[in-house]
Structure 1
Amino acid sequence: MEIEAISRTYSPEMACVIFCCRVFIKTAAAEDLEQFVAYGDIDWNEVYRLAALHRVRPIVYRVLNNTNIPEPTLTRFRNYCRALSVFAFERQIESARIKQVLGQQGISVRMYKGLDFTKVVYGGDISLREFTDMDMMIAPGQLSAMVNVMKAEGYVCSQVEYLRRFPTNFVTNKKDICFYKRSPMGRLFGFEFHYRPTNFMMDQSPGFDELLGKDSSPFTHEQYYRLMVLNHGASDYYPNLRSLVDIVMLSQGRVVDVPPKLRRYERLGQELASRLLNSPAPAVPADKPLLKCATLITEWQLTATPRSGWEKMYMHIRFSSSFLHTLRLMLRAMHYFALPNEKDINNVQLPLFKLYYLAKPVRLLNIPSRLKKVFS
């Protein structure tokens, strides 16, 4: 997709952000970007907003740093990237500390994604990729022991009661458990402990061993490529430009492969990277659902449209390659939205997990508060 066409149809600001991503992954020339910036009527506050929405502010700043843009805009990007550097450094120290504390209690965890991903894929610069939580892999059988350690370290978690009362249902229905704590400086530390890598909707999803291997050696580009095709593609349908830059950075100049069940999601990512980032992509076999999804996702990305949970569910169904699979996904989607979560379990004490399926509509419709308003 030509930059000029993006600029005319959508906005010069969206074109500028995409141009920066292309320069970063070397599918466009910096000189062409400089010319675009010099002759374009660009709202730089909007460029910053779009870069933040697509989670590529460090990339845009790295590319624009030597370009003739207004100093206030450059300062705004610079200040964010400096704050991100502090954020990343603090979390690097805290994640190493938590890993050591857990290890002393015989709880084995392995850091992945986030900081580790940035080190492997982005040349070791931990401030070059936006991230939020710190991710660790853990065996399901060690969840309860890990919870006790994290609570002793001052971390809080809204899912603890769910895990304590219904451990089997928790492991079946969730993929991770999350903890948060304020640092002495007031910054929020967040940990996500994952015991499987995928979401509720995918059939026979590959596990950590298949994606990342069983040994404790550093993750490779190919292992992370498999994981990100699953996370960015099969789970989230490439929600932003950062997800596409990740895929290109992982595969550029390398021979990589994914399990057969992930290959359609890989082809979807390649098609999107070709359209938006001008990245070379292999020919995609005739696959109308895939191409229609690629067109819809392209439009979402170019219009900076946030996706709701319903839209993500819609993508799961629309991406299906057969009627029977579509029907199965629709039934699973209904189950997903009816599935009790920690809010249901924290709000009311019921003796059996299945009873929460009956209580869920009451909470979603907020019936008690509505009645209170009627009779007050």
Structure 2
Amino acid sequence: MTFNNFYQDKIKVLKETDLYRELKVFDNMGDEVIGYKGQKTSQKYLSFASNDYLGLSQNKLIKKNAIEAIKKYGFGAGASRYITGNNHLYFELEKQLAIFKKAQDALVFSSGYACAIGVIPALVGEGDLVIADKLIHSCLLDGIKLSSAKLIRFAHNDLGHCQKILQQNRSNFKKCLIVSETVFSMDGDLGKIQELQDLAQQFQALLLSDDAHGLGLDNLKIKQLPNYHLQMGTMSKAFGAMGGYICGERTIIDYLRNFSRSQIYSTALPPCVLASCLTSLKIIQKQQLAKKALTNAQFFCELMNIPITESAIVIINLKTTKQAITIAKNILKQGIIIASIRPPTVATPRLRITFNALHNKLQIKKLAKILKLELAKNKI
């Protein structure tokens, strides 16, 4: 078998099982998304599939400050932070992130993924233990694999199971890291961060929580990050920009500056991105945008007569991958984008619907009406 035959066979299996991923072209224009069919035909869509939860990616002040930064510093950083790429905006952004997260210090990465695969292998290694929620994001799992630490997973949000694993295994390992998320991106439910924090303290473990999908929600705010709790996140979602970060105790953050390979060996973020993130953070601190996104999601749940969500993410579980693809395609034909999520991203197929602070009730009612009809057609 040639290499090409091997890869072709793999792709063929994906297509036959409705698991083939195809990149579609969409231009985000703020209130609307422009989708393209071929090179010339385009159509306007209303999106309920973006992670731009606060609607900041098209914010006029953020764009203005990004343009001013380009005029002043150019576009690219030109080097890693450890050579000449460490623009002074990095220091201001890390300072403000630490204040916002009630932490002693912060470290910015080029993305949330880069943060995960840099932080985890720096914190733990061979001879250490990682105890992780069953539904943590792929980037966290990749970071754990790179670390060579022993991984044991506890049933989703099952504190009793987590405690049992700690009781049976903690004494056999040098260091222990507990990993979970504030909001689980493919389920929309909240992690039990406060309770895991208590377990981390009890068993002398570190806790790493990923706040990628929960930034700004009042019910997730922590009064003060304790020394054994590190919180990471991304600036590509609620910030509407780009980048990742981790916040925590000063000594640990300083250690990560020296041992996180994905941070050390990456070109620094463009200054315009740093300026955008700083502006986004100021807006997030002043306005209740996360509350508005959550209210929109909960209004949709009421219209659909389904359990009220605790985040801006609503999940509708389905029986087959074909159902998920068909329903999403039919809704797209009516001018609305929702996401169909399939294995291996998730164990079971589902529709993932996300809300932002800019959605209005008329738009949400339209989506609910169309989706109800599609679900009825498929006897769901």
> Which gives a bigger RCO, structure 1 or 2 (Cα 8 Å, sep 6+)?
2
TM-score range, shorter chain: under 0.3
TM-score, reference length from structure 1:
0.26
TM-score, reference length from structure 2:
0.26
